């Protein structure tokens, strides 16, 4: 299963209880979505092994989403991390990393592979044996993207049908390897006793207004992690800064038919956060608040 961990849930300014929004996915490695200040400490605190870091996906270059990168790279360096470490981000991320690494003491000994993704169209970033990650454009006050982690399609056995055709025990392994078997003179193909099952889908918006591109990207998603900087009473501020309200994020989740909405990047003016959750759940019941250390198994 995919393990999703909230490392930070606040908007730009950290507090004694919260740090700026960023998340980790543990699934065949560790994958970071944004990298707020103190990221490596949050990983240690919540059982996410930084030594298994496989890639970093930056949604945009506002400071609260990238300030953790220098410290994380230095910690990896001192721990003997071998790399290479892929870093993905919108246009400008290469220049950012070049400037960072121009400071000798910030330059890691291992290879860092920086890739800029298109800010105006879907871009496939990473493909593994388990899943792929692709980016899509969002609407924020700077160039920004969201990311979709989509698990590969799975082949599942129709056990009742397979057993009815004489497949049992080690024959399940054999037909998986050989793609077909002969039982009692009859050829049985793997496709005869299996079906395809769609993989899980997780969407990370980063900072954004509720927008059509996210609605399309998140269609049928198992989890949508969405910006929620404001509540509706402050909708004018959301429009001005190009962030979302709890209500607008929830309405989008409902239209997209997602299974779960996780609200993050929550403004510090809403403490306690009860009003944020109440507003979202009034529109989309399957809404939850992110908070540091919270985990979801997807």
Per-residue pLDDT tens over the stretch 258-270: 999 999 999 999 9
Q: Are 229 and 241 in contact (CB under 8 A)?
A: yes
Active site residue 64: yes
Domains of the chain, each with CATH number or no CATH: 3-153+198-297 (3.60.15.10), 155-195 (no CATH)
Q: What percent of the chain has pLDDT over 70?
A: 100
Would you say residue 132 has pLDDT above 90? Answer: yes
Q: What pLDDT does 52 receive?
A: 96
Query: What does the DSSP assignment read for 220-253?
Result: T-SEEEEE--B-GGGHHHHHHHT--BHHHHHHHH
Q: What is the pLDDT of residues 159-211, one digit of tens each?
A: 777 787 777 788 778 777 878 888 877 888 887 777 777 899 999 999 999 99
Catalytic residue among 34, 64, 207, 227: 64
Q: What pLDDT does 156 receive?
A: 72
Q: Are 238 and 229 in contact (CB under 8 A)?
A: yes
Query: What does the DSSP assignment read for 121-180?
Result: S-EEEEE-SSEEEEEEE---SSS-EEEEEEEPPEEEE-HHHHHHTT--TTHHHHHHHHSE
Average pLDDT over residues 74-81: 96
Q: What is the pLDDT of residues 1-53, one digit of tens each?
A: 999 999 999 999 999 999 999 999 999 999 999 999 999 999 999 999 999 99
């Amino acid at each position: 299963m995919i393990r999703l961990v909230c490392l930070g849930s606040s908007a730009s300014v950290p507090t004694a209880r919260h740090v700026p929004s960023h998340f980790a996915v543990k699934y065949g490695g560790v994958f970071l979505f944004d990298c707020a200040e103190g990221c490596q400490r949050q990983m240690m605190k919540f059982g996410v092994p930084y030594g298994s870091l496989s890639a970093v996906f930056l949604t945009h270059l506002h400071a609260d989403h990238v300030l953790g990168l220098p410290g994380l790279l230095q910690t990896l360096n001192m721990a003997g991390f071998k790399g290479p470490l892929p870093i993905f981000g919108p246009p400008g991320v290469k220049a950012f990393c070049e400037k960072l690494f121009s400071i000798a003491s910030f330059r890691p000994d291992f290879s860092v592979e920086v890739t800029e993704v298109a800010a105006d169209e879907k871009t496939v970033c990473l493909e593994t044996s388990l899943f792929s990650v692709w980016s899509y454009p969002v609407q924020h006050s700077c160039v920004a993207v969201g990311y979709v982690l989509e698990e590969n399609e799975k082949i599942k056995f129709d056990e009742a049908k397979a057993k009815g055709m004489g497949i049992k025990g080690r024959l399940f392994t054999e037909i998986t390897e050989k793609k077909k078997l002969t039982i009692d003179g009859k050829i049985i193909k793997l496709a005869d006793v299996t079906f395809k099952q769609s993989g899980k889908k997780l969407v990370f918006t980063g900072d954004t207004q509720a927008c059509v591109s996210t609605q399309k990207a998140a269609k049928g998603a198992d989890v949508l992690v969405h910006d929620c900087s404001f509540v509706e009473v402050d909708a004018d501020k959301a429009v001005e800064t190009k962030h979302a309200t709890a209500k607008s994020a929830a309405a989008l989740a409902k239209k997209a038919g997602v299974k779960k909405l996780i609200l993050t990047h929550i403004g510090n003016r809403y403490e306690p956060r009860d009003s944020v959750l109440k507003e979202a759940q009034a529109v989309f019941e399957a809404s939850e608040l992110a908070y540091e250390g919270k985990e979801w198994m997807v």
